[in-house]
Amino acid sequence: MKVHIIPCLKDNYSYIIHDEANDYACVVDPSEANPIIDFIKKKNIKLKYILNTHHHYDHVGGNELIKKEFDAKVIGFNNDKERIPFIDIKLKDQEIWSSDNFTAKVFHIPGHTSGHICFHFYKDNFLFTGDTLFSLGCGRIFEGTYEQMFNSLKIIKSFPEETLIYCGHEYTSKNAEFCLQNDPSNSELIKKISKINALVKKGEPTIPSSLKEEIACNVFLRAKDVKMFSKLRDLKDNF
């Protein structure tokens, strides 16, 4: 399996998971249709599925046109089925979805939205976190509570350290500034920032990050309790 990063809109990332054995593909969080359609046609691969982590428009905006163009099936969370446009396959928390060599376990991770999920392609060590976990950051809390988001991040922390994190936005540089301000003596963070700066200088995505790096460097994952987490989240909201 290979993950192709597709920049969309201002700072969104959509992801095309390509099974090179049979040239099937699925797309995660298509912010808009045209970049996805163009990539699929250029590569001459068969797009089978559209996976949505949550209902926000910048993650589902391409659903309708992509579904129409490729007759792809839209996959989302059963509890959020009314808000996922053109949904076909409704998955439950901790359900394993497996089809056409793609296998992912779904986890309900509320906080950013009440129906947010992540897709863990555990055979490939890929985790698509939407707007719950970013590289060196986490999502704003719109529909959930601090405790829900804290517990959702604990779920993500439980995955193997070698897991690669594919998140919904390129926010890493700004997140790095915030982490450094709040954890200035973290040597692993300083090394991570050097790596980020090199990627930015070359005009390359800072994604994926590894879960090992995030546990070592991301202040939100390093928060010991809900009180510390909520304080950091409030500070970041005004950063």
What phi and psi, each to the nearest 5 degrees, are found at residue 146? -55, -45
What residue ranges do the domains of the chain occupy? Answer: 2-170
Q: What is the C-alpha separation between 90 and 156, in angstroms, rounded?
A: 21
Contact between 61 and 33 (Cβ < 8 Å): yes
Supply the pLDDT for residue 91. Answer: 99
Query: DSSP 3-state helix, strand, coil percentages of the chain (rounded to 5)?
Result: 35, 30, 35
Q: Minimal CA–CA distance to 64: which of 77, 53, 52, 46?
A: 52
Supply the pLDDT for residue 224. Answer: 96
For the chain (length 239 residues), average pLDDT per consecutive 10? Answer: 97 98 97 98 97 98 98 98 98 97 98 98 98 98 97 98 98 98 97 97 97 98 98 96
Neighbours of 65 (CB within 10 A): 15
Question: So what's the architecture of 2-170 in CATH?
Answer: 4-Layer Sandwich (3.60)
Q: What is the value of pTM for the model shown?
A: 0.97
Residue corresponding to tokens 């359609």: 37
HSE-up of residue 208 (Cα within 13 Å, Cβ side): 18
Indicate if the alpha-carbon torsion angle 18, 171, 76, 41 is positive or negative. Answer: negative
Supply the pLDDT for residue 104. Answer: 98
Active site residues: 54, 56, 58-59, 112, 131, 169
Q: Minimal CA–CA distance to 63: which of 8, 142, 127?
A: 8
Residue 188 structure tokens: 């692993």
Supply the pLDDT for residue 161. Answer: 97
